[in-house]
């Protein structure tokens, strides 16, 4: 850009001054950007306020008389300091008020849960909260500057003695710069400050007023590049209803419901209707059509709606009129250190004031006790009076801590006769002694400043921390695959002969339901396999023999195939799975010879191995033209494996003789407590190996027992106390308090109704489950309550197997004891050996997890010469 240039006026007096726009733009835009960054959008690190917030708090203090003030009045008063309109001040004040920390509000201040705005400023009122009065203001240590018009003085920074910026959070967009500091928990910030003062390490995480669930794995201390995932808290209300009780930060009930309705309209999820019952607490009821899985819908809500949001923090503050990027931990350290310095300044001022009070109280006592006031009776001039008092004091002031000044003597002359006449030496000495105690205390605080600061933070926590416990639950989230939870509302068709698949081929063969984000796996008669994304019409290759929705990382779907290796070549048999591919790439499952084609193909979701009959063509002197082949005898290998030879002679046809059973081992399932989900990846506690008919037993703290088929999409309630593989022969033992009879009862029962949710304690509101055990022979220790004036009865050990026989789940059980019980503890169970189940001998189990899963590069060797053993000649 060109700099400002002016024509010399001396050369031509009639020529006007010319200023080039380039230079003006460069200077003015930089000034504007600097102004927006420093004076509007980004908070200062010293007190955590943006200028408008600081001016609002200063105005509140000036107006403070203990009563509420109209917000319109406060806004008008703030305009003396803030050179902008009333709307921006009012909005900023509402935001401070909604955080319920510095301002005590009255009236309708809006609702952060529903997104409702506050009433007009003339209708609502505010005053400084007790917490705000204690931590924000200290006029004696505040630095002041002139307001924008020079008529008033305003604080440069308020002396905030608390990590306010982290407690409230901040968000602002400037010119070429922005900031986003997430709010943190009040109590945890104080605890972290105390740890810092003690030299200990600390970690702080956000806490949101809307509660919800949060994953802070990638928080990165609030620095650039970090990310926080926040979810709504969704639970199952009944079999066809979900309830949302907490929402993610940055959303409200209106925006959340809108996102759910949009996802429903797009076909990502399927819901019947939504009810919003939100008042003081969030309650959104999501009604599902019959047949829709609640667990799968919960995952779909997280995947396709605002029920899960991602927040990217950006910790930027102003320090010395410059933007500064620091993490929240460093922010807290600086705030805590600043608080210590502010407390030190306050103590030093307090010490100085106390010493001044002590100094004058001592002078006053000397002046009156030694009747120095009589020395001025003969003096006729003011200078003589001052000199007489000064001379009278000199013999008695050796113990004073500073010299006596003329101002001190003038103050002595202002003492009234009435006060001199009623002067009490003992009371005066008591006052001096009390001042000396206060001085000693303040000096002690100054000498032990860190301990004093720790006591200060402890006081804040004790006084204002009640009711400010963490709202947002910290949890590690599982990653939800959208393709697994999306509602499949589109129909997939195939034209096998011409080789097309797609959603627009409605005149051709229907395959299955799919979604617009699914991948489709296709096999052709020439042994070509391809995975492609769902589209209206896609050409794969002529003579399609199999089409299905592709599941990534699926090792349980086993493909059984018999193919001819080129013209005149041998016939091979192979079994393989497909867990990963490159989209739209053609994979040749034969040896790649011209003329290869597939005789037989099947896809088996649970690794089923069927029996087929092979028919040979009558050529030459072949004696055996027909025999059976069992796929269970073939090992599962990678898709590029050549396979085993079925026959070297020409095959006429292959027919299915017998449907197969699964040859896969029962699937091992683990429960990961961290994410509260099931998995097959070995994370967490092993629940067992599950066959198709096996169930999970779930027992909750409110006395509910149920059995369910394990699915990886399942969600579990927070009050779950038992989760294990269900053994139908194994009894459940329980001790519960019967609220109606006010006694403890013992019961043993079997789960008889599979898939049904049943309560096994009484329905009285005071009834509660005390002990539950799924051990075969549990033992408990009963401790009785000590009666007044008597010795405590010895504990009673109860073998539950002997105490009560197995009864129905609805039986009340046997009374444990009539005595009052203090507590019941479960002991080590008695030994029991469960009889082993004998597996069928004719069922061979191959664990597909241990089978070599060759990929494209690893299988080159097998293509060259791995023919495998010859099964049939």
For 55, the 3-state DSSP assignment is: helix
Helix (H, G, I), strand (E, B) or coil at 564: strand
Which residue from 511, 439, 172, 201 is spatially nearest to 315, judged by alpha carbons?
172
The string of DSSP codes covering 293-309 is -HHHHHHHHHHHSTTEE
Count Cβ neighbours within 10 Å for each residue of 292-313 and write b for 16 or more, e otherwise.
eebbbbbbbbbbbbbbbbebeb
Annotated catalytic residue, options 123, 572, 597, 745: 123
Of 395, 398, 422, 404, residue with least CA distance to 360: 404
Q: Specify whether 123 is catalytic.
A: yes
Residues 6+ apart with CB under 8 A from 537: 500, 501, 502, 504, 505
DSSP structure class, residue 342: H
d(CA 80, CA 91): 17
HEC string for 369-428: HCCHHHHHCCCCCHHHHHHHHHHHHHHHCCCCCCCCCHHHHHHHHCCCHHHHHCCCHHHH
What DSSP designation does 829 have?
Answer: P
Closest CA to 549 of 503, 492, 604, 599: 492
Contact criterion met (CB below 8 Å) for 501 and 520: yes
Give the DSSP H/E element, type plus range, for residue 287: strand 284-287
8 A C-beta contact, residue 573 and residue 644: yes
Rounded CA-CA distance 207/312 in Å is 15
C-alpha distances in angstroms, 235 versus 51, 228, 719? 43, 22, 12
CB atoms within 10 A of CB 749: 20
The SS3 of residue 516 is coil
Nearest-angstrom CA–CA distance, 102 and 660: 71
Residues annotated as catalytic are 123
């Amino acid at each position: 850009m060109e700099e400002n240039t002016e024509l010399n006026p001396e050369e031509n007096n009639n020529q006007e001054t010319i200023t080039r726009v380039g230079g003006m733009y460069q200077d003015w835009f930089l000034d504007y950007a600097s102004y927006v960054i420093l004076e509007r959008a980004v908070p200062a690190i010293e007190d955590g306020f943006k200028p408008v917030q600081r001016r609002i708090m200063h105005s509140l203090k000036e107006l403070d008389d203990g009563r509420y003030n109209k917000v319109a009045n406060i806004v008008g008063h703030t305009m003396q300091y803030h050179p902008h309109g009333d709307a921006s001040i009012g909005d900023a004040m509402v935001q401070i008020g909604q955080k319920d920390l510095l301002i005590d509000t009255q009236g309708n201040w809006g609702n952060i849960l529903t997104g409702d705005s506050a009433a007009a400023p003339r209708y609502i009122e505010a005053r400084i909260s007790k917490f705000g009065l204690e931590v924000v203001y200290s006029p004696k240590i505040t630095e002041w500057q002139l307001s924008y018009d020079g008529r008033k003085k305003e604080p440069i920074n308020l002396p905030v003695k608390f990590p306010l910026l982290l407690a409230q959070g901040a968000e602002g967009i400037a010119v070429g710069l922005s900031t986003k500091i997430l709010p943190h928990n009040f109590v945890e910030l104080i605890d972290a400050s105390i740890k810092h003062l003690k030299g200990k390490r600390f970690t702080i995480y956000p806490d949101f007023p809307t509660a919800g669930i949060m994953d802070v794995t990638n928080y990165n201390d609030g620095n650039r590049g970090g990310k926080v995932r926040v979810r709504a808290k969704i639970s199952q209300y009944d079999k066809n209803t979900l309830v949302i009780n907490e929402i993610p930060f940055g959303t409200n009930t209106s925006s959340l419901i809108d996102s759910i309705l949009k996802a429903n309209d797009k076909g990502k999820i399927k819901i019947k209707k939504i009810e919003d019952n939100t008042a003081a607490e969030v309650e959104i009821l999501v009604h599902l059509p019959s047949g829709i899985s609640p667990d799968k819908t919960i995952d779909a809500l997280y995947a396709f709606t605002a029920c899960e949001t991602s927040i990217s923090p950006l910790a930027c503050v102003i320090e010395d009129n410059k933007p500064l990027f620091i993490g929240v931990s460093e922010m807290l350290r600086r705030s805590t250190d600043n608080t210590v310095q502010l407390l030190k300044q306050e103590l030093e001022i307090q010490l100085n004031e106390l010493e001044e009070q002590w100094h004058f109280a001592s002078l006053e006592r000397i002046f009156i006790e030694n009747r120095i006031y009589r020395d001025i009776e003969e003096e006729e001039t003011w200078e003589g009076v001052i000199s007489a008092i000064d001379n009278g004091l000199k013999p008695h002031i050796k113990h004073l801590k500073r010299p006596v000044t003329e101002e001190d003597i003038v103050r002595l002359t202002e003492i009234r006769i009435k006060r001199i006449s009623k002067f009490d030496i003992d009371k005066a000495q008591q006052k001096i002694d009390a001042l000396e105690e206060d001085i000693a205390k303040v000096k002690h605080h100054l000498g032990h400043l860190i301990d004093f600061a720790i006591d200060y933070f402890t006081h804040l926590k004790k006084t204002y921390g009640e009711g400010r416990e963490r709202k947002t639950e910290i949890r590690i989230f599982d990653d939800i695959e959208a393709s697994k939870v999306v509602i499949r509302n589109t129909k997939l068709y195939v034209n096998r002969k011409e080789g097309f698949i797609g959603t627009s081929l409605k005149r051709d063969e229907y395959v299955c339901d799919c979604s617009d984000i699914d991948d489709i796996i296709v096999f052709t008669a020439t042994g070509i396999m391809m995975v492609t994304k769902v589209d209206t019409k896609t050409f794969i290759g002529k003579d399609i023999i199999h089409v299905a929705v592709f599941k990534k990382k699926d090792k349980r779907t086993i493909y059984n195939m018999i193919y001819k290796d080129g013209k005149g070549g041998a016939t091979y048999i192979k079994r393989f799975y497909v867990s990963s591919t490159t989209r739209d790439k053609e994979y040749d499952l034969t040896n790649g010879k011209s003329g290869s084609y597939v005789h037989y193909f099947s896809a088996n979701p649970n690794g089923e191995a069927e029996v087929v009959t092979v028919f040979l063509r009558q050529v030459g002197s072949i004696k055996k033209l027909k025999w059976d082949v069992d796929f269970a005898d073939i090992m599962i290998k990678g898709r590029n494996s050549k396979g085993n030879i079925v026959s070297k002679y020409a095959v006429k046809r292959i027919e299915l003789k017998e449907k197969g059973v699964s040859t896969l081992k029962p699937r091992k399932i683990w429960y990961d407590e961290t994410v509260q989900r099931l998995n097959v990846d070995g994370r967490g506690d092993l629940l067992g190996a599950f066959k198709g008919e096996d169930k999970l037993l779930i027992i909750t703290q409110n006395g509910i027992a149920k059995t369910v088929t394990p699915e990886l999409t399942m969600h579990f309630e927070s009050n779950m106390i038992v989760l294990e593989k269900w053994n139908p022969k194994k009894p459940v033992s329980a001790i519960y308090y019967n609220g109606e009879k006010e006694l403890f009862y013992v019961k043993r029962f079997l789960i008889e109704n599979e898939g049904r949710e049943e309560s096994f304690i009484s329905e009285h509101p005071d009834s509660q489950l005390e002990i539950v055990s799924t051990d075969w022979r549990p033992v408990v220790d009963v401790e009785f309550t000590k009666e007044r004036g008597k010795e405590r009865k010895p504990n009673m050990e109860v073998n539950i197997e002997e105490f009560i026989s197995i009864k129905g789940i609805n039986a009340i059980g046997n009374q444990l004891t009539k005595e009052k019980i203090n507590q019941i503890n479960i002991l080590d169970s008695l030994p029991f050996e469960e009889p082993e189940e004998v597996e069928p001998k004719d069922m061979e189990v191959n664990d597909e997890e241990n089978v070599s899963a060759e990929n494209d590069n690893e299988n080159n060797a097998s293509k060259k010469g791995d023919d495998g053993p010859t099964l049939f000649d």
